[in-house]
Structure 1
Amino acid sequence: MDITLAIFILVYLAMAVGHLPGFRLDRTGAAVVGAMILIASGRISPADAWAAVDYRTVGLLFGLMVVSAAFMVSGFYDRVAQKVGDIDVGPKTLLAILIAVSGVMAALLNKDVVAVAMTPIFCSICLQRRLNPLPFLLGFCFAANFASAATIIGSPQNMIVAETLHLSFMGFMAAAAPPALLSLPVVWGVIVLCYRGRWALTEVPQAPKAGPVPADTPAIAFNAGETIKTAIVALAVVAAFIFTDRPHMLIALAGASVLLISRRLSSGKLLHHVDGDLLLLLFGLFVVNAALTATGLPEQVLALLRGIGLDLHDPISMLGVMAILSNIVGNNPAVMLVAPFIGGAHRPEALGAAIALGTALSSSAVIFGSLVGIIVSEECRKRGIALSFGEFARAGLPTSLICLAMGALWILQLH
């Protein structure tokens, strides 16, 4: 148990910090190495390690990643970002449009892929229009994080929750979508308040001397045929989620198969945009968590928590736990950490909504609270745009607190 607990702590330390201190081992590397050490040392057998991996979640995530990647390589994300940026409206209206577009796309596609594809374009557009990029990038970031909680397919953690609790697409959406979508006007209001009088770009930011300036990165050429094909497949996948009882994984994999068979786009180009690191991260965490569960320690901890009135099957308690935990170890690791202990809940839809909303609505409190925040921060760094921890939290913390309060009120009425 001592080795298992030590490996578990080190792995989740890497989840929190971003790497294993003292080593060049990132989150994915730490999870994979931790799992391999536990298997090699006999703390968990190879058979139990394989059994610990939830193939349903991995298959669902992979399939939907392929669908989202197809939108990327077809130039759809670039075209949408450019169209939004070209609209001739005032900054407040442009911010509202950007928040709405970001929210809808994050709810229907993978929020992280949307952020990777569209953040550089929005950044360039703001600089070209002599607009302060910070309110627009923060609005894009917050909206993507919050609205992603609305559907199963909005984020990887939603998929993990839905598969663990056996939630239907519409059941999850009915429980989680209202507060997720109502958060978007809050994002707009808080950012408008924080950036009043600061919409114009006062000075052109200077990119760091080390490294190339990414402003000249060419946009992906828009391919109407591939975009239409991908849209049809995506709509068919969502319709199958809603109107059939087929396992989500099989539906997503079927859609991915159709997209990978193409006469115009190579399968390698699509698969290049699938986040293999995230899939490996999940594999590693499944094994590490299973090894710790086998020691009996988690049950002892849960008993202690129940003794102080904290029950992981209680949606309100879970909302608070996830809001804190996801800002320590990250969204996906936080959900992975509690997933083994949420089965058999009396109100699975309310509990699933609490987990999704807790991770999503808290993820804009700090700059490293989500991968989207990290992507936006890194893009600003490359271009010399000053997005500090304090600047991010100035708008993000009140937005997250207000939206978490809304989420708590919504969860209470679901009881």
Structure 2
Amino acid sequence: MNHWQKEMVAAAIFGITYVLISGRQMKILPLNRPAAALLGAVLMVSTGVMTPQRAYGAVNYDTLVLLLGMMLISAYLYLAHFFEWAADVILKYSHTPGRLLLYLTLTSGILSALLVNDTICLMLTPLVVAVIKRGKLPLLPFLIALATSANIGSVATLVGNPQNMIIGHFSHIPFSEFARSLAPAAIIGLAINFGILRFGFRSVLRAAVIIRKPDVVLKLDRGLFVLVCIVFVSIFVCFFAGLNLAWTALAGAALVMVLGRRETHEVLKLVDWHLLVFFAALFVV
């Protein structure tokens, strides 16, 4: 194929891939997002648009390694029952549905700035659903708050979402400079988000009453939690010092794996491998 033919084929594959990714699963071709992206990557190579070597070179491994490292840290927080504990504490100290909405907005936004927003949504959603049902409250405003706040809060740092990681990799913006520039925007965004949700669901929240159950036991593996916190703070100190984001995160995750004394296969089950495969294939497409 000549240059223009390759461009046409590449554009067609790109378009088909993104239709499959953004559209619902079709009966004829029941593909989820990672499978659709993988199909696009394979077509790019098999049609001759890219050589295998060029396809390997297109993958941004720093982003994938950084994602993996932060997901592993999140997995250990999950095993320490941190997310469950945090959800129970939020419900305990929320005297009104409006305050619960505020606490959830802040928790989702802050955690997504420190960890990967996809992971936060994945791990917090079932816990938030359980807490909201336990409090006999409407689900919709709180789930919307969780999702939107995770997206907004993740803007604040280079490790908040995969898009920021890619930007950081190619632009070489220091972690501290990125956070200093974007954190204020994220804070303002969270405030606006809460205001919109509070106003939009005012009648629902006003009519709701939190029903507490006194027998709720807050479980937190303090030993593992303290270990993860120490490593986590050390990772962010290294980030601000200008060390490589990907290998710093992976080194921290490896340290927790060694000292955490948990079954490794249980930890790896909590990693969102679908997301890693999805992004790896998208780099090729």
* Residue number in structure 2 paired with 1:229: 227
Aligned ranges for residues 1-400 of structure 1 at < 5 Å?
1=6, 2-19=8-25, 22-199=28-205, 200-201=207-208, 222-243=220-241, 245-262=242-259, 264-288=261-285
* Residue number in structure 2 paired with 1:374: none
Deviations 1:331-374 (A, max 9, x none): xxxxxxxxxxxxxxxxxxxxxxxxxxxxxxxxxxxxxxxxxxxx
- Unaligned 5+ residue runs, structure 1? 203-218, 289-415
Whether the 8 Å contact between 1:14 and 1:21 is mirrored in structure 2 is: no
Whether the 8 Å contact between 1:98 and 1:136 is mirrored in structure 2 is: yes
> Residues 250 and 189 (structure 1 numbering): CA distance in 2 closer, same or farther, change over 3 Å?
same
> Following TM superposition, by how much is the alpha carbon of 1:233 offset from its aligned partner in structure 2, in angstroms?
1.1
How far apart, CA to CA, are the structure 2 residues paired with 1:136 and 1:58?
Answer: 30
Deviations 1:88-141 (A, max 9, x none): 512222222221122111111122222222222222222332322322222222
RMSD of aligned C-alpha atoms? 2.1
* Residue number in structure 2 paired with 1:350: none
TM-score (norm 2): 0.88
> Following TM superposition, by how much is the alpha carbon of 1:66 offset from its aligned partner in structure 2, in angstroms?
1.0
> Following TM superposition, by how much is the alpha carbon of 1:40 offset from its aligned partner in structure 2, in angstroms?
2.6
Whether the 8 Å contact between 2:88 and 2:218 is mirrored in structure 1 is: no
Deviations 1:8-34 (A, max 9, x none): 111111222154673011111111122
- Tell me the amino acid that sits aligned with residue 249 of structure 2: A
- Unaligned 5+ residue runs, structure 2? 1-5, 210-216
How far apart, CA to CA, are the structure 2 residues paired with 1:133 and 1:155?
Answer: 25
TM-score (norm 1): 0.61
Whether the 8 Å contact between 1:261 and 1:267 is mirrored in structure 2 is: no
How far apart, CA to CA, are the structure 1 residues paired with 2:113 and 2:202?
Answer: 28
Percent identity, please. Answer: 30
> Following TM superposition, by how much is the alpha carbon of 1:201 offset from its aligned partner in structure 2, in angstroms?
5.0
- Tell me the amino acid that sits aligned with residue 112 of structure 1: D
How far apart, CA to CA, are the structure 2 residues paired with 1:149 and 1:281?
Answer: 21
SS of the equivalent of 2:70 reads helix
> Following TM superposition, by how much is the alpha carbon of 1:220 offset from its aligned partner in structure 2, in angstroms?
10
Report the count of equivalent residues: 271
